[in-house]
């Protein structure tokens, strides 16, 4: 029997995405409090994310969302990682407020430990992608679209990690959304 790698490429990528979700879920967290949410987007959800990125680009004027919206259409899956906001009662001041009680008056300002937790989870997930040699890239733009769509309810600081398996990573060396200026 001979089996071409293209025959089960998507199946293998979905398995890697599942392992990435496990790595993000089990990543260390500040004070051991689990406020990280992880999900996998595929098929029609990737299309929804792409459309929302185009809408957000139009509203915000951020042109790189257009480029990223096209790039994610080449992904077999996108791992979404976000954090719920919860103060850690450390009064560390990293968020810019002297005390956690003072910070409570500004719920839109994230607790810095929450932000660190999501970063560690992203790093853990990306290490799995690297171990499996799949194409990937951490994208703020995908996370913003996921947040706008409410895909991870109650979460902020959401990031997306699209993955693919191709001869050239479609998420790097991307075409610019601005014309090249020749000097």
pLDDT given at position 180: 40
CA-to-CA distance for 28 and 52, rounded, in angstroms?
31
Structure tokens at 38: 């992880």
Sorted by sequence, the CB contacts under 8 Å of residue 154 that are 6+ apart come out as: 37, 84
Number of domains present in the structure of the chain: 1
182 pLDDT above the threshold of 50: no
**CATH number for the domain including 96?**
3.40.109.10
In a domain, 177, yes or no: no
158 pLDDT above the threshold of 50: yes
In a domain, 40, yes or no: yes
Mean pLDDT for the stretch of residues 148-157: 94
Residue 158 · residue 147 · CB < 8 Å: yes
In a domain, 74, yes or no: yes
SS3 30: helix
Q: Are strands 36-41 and 155-164 parallel, antiparallel or unpaired?
A: unpaired
CA-to-CA distance for 94 and 114, rounded, in angstroms?
11
pLDDT given at position 177: 55
Please, what is the average pLDDT of the chain? 90
Using alpha carbons, select from 81, 158, 157 the residue that is nearest to residue 121: 81
CA-to-CA distance for 181 and 102, rounded, in angstroms?
48
CA-to-CA distance for 152 and 143, rounded, in angstroms?
10
Mean pLDDT for the stretch of residues 44-67: 95
Element (H, E) at 129: helix 112-131
CA-to-CA distance for 8 and 1, rounded, in angstroms?
15
10 pLDDT above the threshold of 70: yes
pLDDT tens digits, 74-120 = 999 999 999 998 888 888 988 899 998 998 888 888 888 888 999 99
In a domain, 13, yes or no: no
pLDDT given at position 176: 54
In a domain, 69, yes or no: yes
* C-alpha torsion 127→39→56→46, nearest 10: 90
72 pLDDT above the threshold of 90: yes
- Beta strand segments in the chain, E: 36-41, 77-84, 135-136, 155-164
Residue 147, number of CB atoms within 10 A of its CB: 20
In a domain, 172, yes or no: no
Which domain covers residue 112, as residue numbers?
22-164
Say what the pTM is. 0.89
In a domain, 14, yes or no: no
pLDDT tens digits, 11-45 = 999 999 999 999 999 998 888 888 999 999 999 99
In a domain, 157, yes or no: yes
55 pLDDT above the threshold of 50: yes
pLDDT given at position 169: 86
């Amino acid at each position: 029997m001979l089996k071409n790698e293209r025959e089960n490429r998507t199946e293998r990528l979905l398995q890697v995405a599942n392992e990435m979700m496990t790595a993000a879920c089990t990543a260390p967290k500040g004070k051991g409090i689990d406020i990280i949410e992880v999900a996998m987007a595929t098929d029609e959800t990737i299309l929804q994310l792409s459309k929302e990125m185009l809408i957000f680009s139009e509203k915000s004027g951020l042109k790189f969302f257009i480029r990223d919206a096209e790039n994610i259409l080449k992904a077999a899956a996108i791992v979404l990682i976000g954090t719920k906001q919860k103060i850690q009662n450390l009064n560390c001041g990293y968020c810019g407020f002297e005390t956690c009680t003072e910070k409570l008056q500004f719920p839109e300002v994230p607790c810095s430990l929450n932000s660190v937790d999501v970063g560690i989870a992203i790093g853990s997930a990306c290490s799995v992608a690297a171990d499996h040699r799949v194409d990937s890239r951490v994208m703020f733009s995908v996370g913003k679209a996921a947040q706008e769509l409410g895909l991870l309810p109650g979460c902020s600081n959401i990031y997306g990690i699209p993955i693919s398996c191709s001869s050239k990573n479609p998420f790097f060396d991307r075409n610019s959304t601005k014309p090249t200026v020749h000097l």
